[in-house]
C-alpha cells in the first residue's frame, strides 16, 4: 500500500491567517495533540522572526513528543552573504530541531524583482544553504516557493532550482503553489515533470485561493508526491492552506494511501474541533467529515432511505472519522424523522399512528410561523411530549413584568418580577440581571428553586436572536435560541414572537421544562 508523510504547518503558516494569534502555550497544546494524532512533521515557526517562536522551540524539546518531528522554518541565505554568516540560518540552528525547512525562489520573476539578484546567485543560495545545513546533520525539507507559477513562466529555470536543492542533499523537496491559483491538471503535469528531474522524495504544499487546495494535493500524491503539507481545518493566509482534516480521510478512505492509523482517523473530528477552539476559529457545520452537519439528514425521503441503508445518502461511515449521524426535525421532515426522534425519547410510535401525522402537521405549522427545531431539539422534545400527553405542567405562569432603567450616569439596570403557581402554591419574586432576559431568567429560577432544586445545576451557555423579517423593522418577528447546560450535557430551545422578551420566555420555559423532564425520567 502506498504511504505518505503528513507535514503540518498550522503553527507557522496557519497563524498567518487573519484573526489567528497563538501563545506559546497554545502552540504547545496543539503540537501535543498533533503528535498524539500521528502527524509526522510539525512545523513550529520561524526562529529569529520573533521571540515567541524561539521560546516554543525551547519548550517543545521538553514536551516529550512521541511521533512527530519538529521542524524549524526559514529561508535560504541572503544574496551576497555566506551561509555560515547569515542571521536567519544562525537562528535556525539555535532552534536545535532535527528538521529544518527552507524556502527558496523558483520563479525568475521573484528572483529578479523581489530578491533583486541574478538567477545564478539564486541557484547558489539554494545549493549553499542546503549543503550548509546538511553539514550540520539536519534533515532538510526544501520548499520550492512558487514552483508551479515559476514553471509556467520559465519551466527550465524552475526545474533547475529543485535540481540544485537535490544535488546539495535535500531530503525532501516540497513543490509549492504559493499563490493558490493552480488547477489539478496543471499540478499533475508539473509534478510529473519534477519527478523526472529529481530522485529526491517530493512533497506538495498548496494554498486554497482557487478553492482547489485539497484536490490539488490529492492529484499531486497520485502523481508521485510522498509528503503532504497543510494545516488543520485549512487555516492560513488569505484563503488558507490545504486542509489536512479533509485530506487525511480522502487519502486513506478514498485513495487507499496510508497516512494515519484507523484509531487516529476515528479521533479526527475531536482533533479538528480541539484545534479550532484553541485558534478561536468557528468550524462551519458543513465542514467535510468533521462538521456538526456533515452527517445530518433532514429531508423525509432521504431519512426514509437512510433507515433502509446508510449508504443511500452517506459516502463514508461517520464513525470512521469520529463523527455521528444525526436526523433533523423541520418542516421538510417526513414521518420517519418523527419516528426516529420518538425512539430516541423512548416513545413508541409507528407510521400508522394518527398522532404521528398530528405531530408532523404541528411541526410544519410552527416552522411556518418561524420556529426552527433542527437547532432546538429540546423544544421539539417538549412539544412531542405535550402532544402525546406525556408531559406535566411543572408550573403555571400568573404573570411577569420586566423593567429596564437608564440612569443619569449612563448606567442601565434590569429587573424582573414574576408570579408562578406550582401545585396550588403561589410564588411571587423579583430579581435583577445584566439585561432584561437575564433578569427574567434569574427571577424564574428564584421562584422555582424551592420546588425544583435540581435546576440549580443548569445554566444558560448561549443566547442568539435572529430577526425573521428585516423589512418589518422594529415590529419584526424574532427567533430566540437558548443553549443550556448541566453536568450531563447541553440542550437548545427556541421561541418566536414579535416581542423579544416573549420569545425569550418561551425558550427559557422549554429549557427548564426539558431539564425537569430529563430529571424526572431517571
Q: Cβ distance 398 to 420 under 8 Å?
A: yes
Degrees (nearest 5) of the Cα angle 47, 38, 239? 60
Residue 315 vs residue 75, higher pLDDT: 75
Q: What is the mean pLDDT of residues 335-361?
A: 63
> Helical H runs in 23-182?
24-37, 51-60, 87-94, 108-113, 119-135, 147-167
Rounded Cα distance, 148 and 106, in Å: 8
Q: What is the mean pLDDT of residues 495-501?
A: 90
Per-residue pLDDT tens digits for 85-127: 999 999 999 999 999 999 999 999 999 998 999 999 999 999 9
Per-residue pLDDT tens digits for 402-445: 999 988 888 899 999 999 999 999 999 999 988 899 999 999 99
With 90 as the cut, is the pLDDT of residue 7 above it? Answer: yes
Per-residue pLDDT tens digits for 269-305: 999 988 998 888 888 889 999 987 787 766 555 555 6
> Helical H runs in 168-236?
184-197, 213-222
pLDDT band at 147 (very low <50, low <70, confident <90, very high): very high
Highest mean pLDDT among 178-187, 398-407, 471-480: 178-187
Rounded Cα distance, 246 and 389, in Å: 45
CATH 3.30.160.270 domain span(s) along the chain? 396-520
Range with the poorest average pLDDT among 314-328, 356-370, 375-389, 479-493: 356-370
User: Strands 478-486 and 459-467, how do they pair?
Assistant: antiparallel
Q: Cβ distance 333 to 374 under 8 Å?
A: no
Q: Note the pLDDT of residue 440.
A: 92
CATH 3.20.20.70 domain span(s) along the chain? 5-260
Query: Would you give the DSSP letter of residue 334?
Result: -
Q: Note the pLDDT of residue 346.
A: 61
- Cell numbers that stand for 425 in this block: 402554591
CATH superfamily of 396-520: Alpha-isopropylmalate synthase LeuA, regulatory domain (3.30.160.270)
CATH superfamily of 5-260: Aldolase class I (3.20.20.70)
Amino acid at each position: 500500500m502506498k504511504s505518505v508523510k503528513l507535514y503540518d504547518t498550522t503553527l507557522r503558516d496557519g497563524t498567518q491567517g487573519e484573526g489567528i494569534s497563538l501563545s506559546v502555550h497554545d502552540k504547545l497544546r496543539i503540537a501535543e495533540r498533533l503528535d498524539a494524532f500521528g502527524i509526522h512533521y510539525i512545523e513550529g515557526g520561524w526562529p529569529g522572526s520573533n521571540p515567541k517562536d524561539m521560546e516554543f522551540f525551547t519548550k517543545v524539546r521538553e514536551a516529550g513528543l512521541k511521533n512527530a518531528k519538529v521542524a524549524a522554518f526559514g529561508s535560504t541565505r541572503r544574496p551576497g552573504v555566506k551561509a555560515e554568516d547569515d542571521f536567519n540560518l544562525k537562528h535556525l540552528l539555535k532552534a536545535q530541531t532535527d528538521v529544518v525547512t527552507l524556502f527558496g525562489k523558483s520563479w525568475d520573476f521573484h528572483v529578479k524583482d523581489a530578491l533583486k539578484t541574478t538567477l545564478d546567485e539564486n541557484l547558489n543560495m539554494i545549493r549553499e544553504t542546503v549543503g550548509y545545513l546538511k553539514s550540520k546533520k539536519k534533515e532538510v525539507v526544501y520548499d520550492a516557493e512558487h514552483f508551479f507559477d515559476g514553471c509556467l513562466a520559465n519551466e527550465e529555470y524552475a526545474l533547475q532550482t529543485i535540481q540544485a536543492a537535490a544535488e546539495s542533499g535535500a531530503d525532501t523537496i516540497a513543490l509549492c503553489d504559493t499563490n493558490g491559483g493552480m488547477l489539478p491538471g496543471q499540478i499533475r503535469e508539473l509534478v510529473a515533470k519534477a519527478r523526472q528531474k529529481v530522485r529526491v522524495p517530493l512533497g506538495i504544499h498548496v494554498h486554497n485561493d482557487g478553492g482547489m487546495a485539497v484536490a490539488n494535493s490529492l492529484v499531486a500524491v497520485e502523481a508521485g508526491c510522498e509528503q503532504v503539507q497543510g494545516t488543520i481545518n485549512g487555516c492560513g493566509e488569505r484563503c488558507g492552506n490545504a486542509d489536512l482534516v479533509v485530506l487525511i480521510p480522502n487519502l486513506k478512505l478514498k485513495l487507499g494511501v496510508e497516512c494515519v492509523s484507523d484509531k487516529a482517523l476515528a479521533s479526527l473530528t475531536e482533533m479538528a474541533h480541539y484545534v479550532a477552539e484553541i485558534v478561536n476559529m468557528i468550524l462551519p457545520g458543513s465542514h467535510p467529515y468533521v462538521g456538526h452537519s456533515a452527517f445530518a439528514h433532514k429531508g423525509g425521503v432521504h431519512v426514509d432511505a437512510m433507515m433502509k441503508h446508510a449508504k443511500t445518502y452517506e459516502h463514508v461511515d461517520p464513525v470512521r472519522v469520529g463523527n455521528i449521524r444525526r436526523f433533523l426535525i423541520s418542516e421538510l421532515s417526513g414521518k420517519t424523522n418523527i419516528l426516529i426522534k420518538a425512539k430516541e425519547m423512548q416513545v413508541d410510535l409507528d407510521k400508522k399512528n394518527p398522532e404521528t401525522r398530528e405531530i408532523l402537521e404541528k411541526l410544519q405549522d410552527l416552522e411556518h410561523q418561524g420556529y426552527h427545531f433542527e437547532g432546538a431539539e429540546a423544544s421539539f422534545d417538549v412539544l412531542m411530549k405535550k402532544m402525546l400527553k406525556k408531559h406535566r405542567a411543572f408550573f403555571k405562569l400568573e404573570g411577569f413584568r420586566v423593567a429596564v432603567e437608564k440612569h443619569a450616569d449612563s448606567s442601565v439596570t434590569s429587573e424582573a418580577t414574576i408570579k408562578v403557581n406550582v401545585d396550588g402554591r403561589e410564588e411571587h419574586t423579583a430579581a435583577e440581571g445584566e439585561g432584561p432576559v437575564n433578569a427574567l431568567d434569574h427571577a424564574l429560577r428564584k421562584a422555582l428553586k424551592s420546588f425544583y432544586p435540581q435546576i440549580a445545576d443548569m445554566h444558560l451557555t448561549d443566547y442568539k436572536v435572529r430577526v425573521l423579517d428585516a423589512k418589518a423593522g422594529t415590529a419584526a418577528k424574532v427567533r430566540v435560541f437558548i443553549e443550556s447546560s448541566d453536568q450531563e450535557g447541553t440542550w437548545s430551545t427556541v421561541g418566536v414572537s414579535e416581542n423579544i422578551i416573549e420569545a425569550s420566555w418561551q425558550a427559557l420555559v422549554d429549557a427548564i421544562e426539558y431539564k425537569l423532564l430529563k430529571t424526572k425520567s431517571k
